Amino acid sequence: MSEVDTTGESAMGPAGGPPEGAAGEPAMGAAGEPAKDAAGAPAADGAGTARQTRPLLEVDDVVMRFGGVTALDHVSFTVNEGEILGLIGPNGAGKTTCFNVMTGVFRPTTGQVRLNGRPLVSRSRHQITRLGIARTFQNIRLFPEMTALENVLVGTDARHRTSVPGALLRLPRHRKEERAGRAKAHELLDFMGIGSTANQLARNLPYGDQRRLEIARALATEPALLCLDEPAAGFNPAEKEELLELIRRIRDRGQTVLLIEHDMRLVMGVTDRIVVLEFGRKIADAVPAEVRSDPKVVAAYLGVPDDAA
């Protein structure tokens, strides 16, 4: 079935851009030269190793106002292909609003968002889905009365090309897509470590498995960019360690990851670069080691003494 919004409120999407290079080979910029990060230096992986890549998503001078409240104030940053980018900031900084603008939930007051050079502002959620953005939510949004397998199948449906009449008549193309979707769904459940839950209702799964199931559903749409909104919320330390490794494995599958997370140990341990928002404004964009010691970031989280204000 076409034009499916898999959560009812969000856009999750298939890869819409050019394929990445062979495993282990760096992507190159438009002019054939290594891409640089926002500071002009080669992009680095989570271990601080330089990686060469190109911009996948561009957030360009975005302003988002709700009445008299400015949630995003001329925010600009890029997400480079193949990296894990952290988007952090105190509560109310505008992180989730930024996700909502990128995925078509909100239309920005001014500014533009581009995926592989294609403008996203004014596109519908299912169009953004097809172009290649998937997301999860702070609060889990599964279909509770459907099985884990059925939840992931909803995600695979975003890639199907069968028409409504074709699905109703169960034409050969529809049956072929259903078989492929079911195989993909099982593969993703296994990848997430919850393959044994395929036939269990989503509402009966433990909290951690529900989190993993939501990520599996997003991955089922074959996104170029996977946006994770506080995926470690409610996890214990052991589960957070597993999540850190999972995010790396997702990147190794070919997905670029944009991560909102309040657990700084997880963010510093898994991201290649971090963008920091405060009161809707970008105050930092650098590798984790630089962000950790940035006085503006420290002040945003911890405040400053009265005599230093």
152 backbone dihedrals φ, ψ, rounded to 5°: -70, -35
Asked whether the beta carbons of 291 and 39 are under 8 A apart, the reply is no
pLDDT of residue 38: 39
C-alpha to C-alpha distance for 184 and 100, rounded to whole angstroms: 27
pLDDT of residue 44 exceeding 60, the answer is no
Q: Which fold has domain 43-143+223-304?
A: Rossmann fold (3.40.50)
Average pLDDT in the chain: 83
Single out the residue of 3, 1, 14 nearest to residue 217, CA to CA: 14
- pLDDT tens digits along 219-242: 999 999 999 999 999 899 999 999
For residues 58-78, average pLDDT: 97
Domain ranges of the chain: 43-143+223-304
Asked whether the beta carbons of 294 and 284 are under 8 A apart, the reply is yes
Estimate the crossing angle of helix 237-252 against helix 207-219, to 10 degrees.
Answer: 10
- pLDDT tens digits along 156-198: 887 666 666 666 666 777 677 788 889 999 999 999 999 999 9
Highest mean pLDDT among 9-23, 69-83, 125-139: 69-83
pLDDT of residue 22 exceeding 90, the answer is no
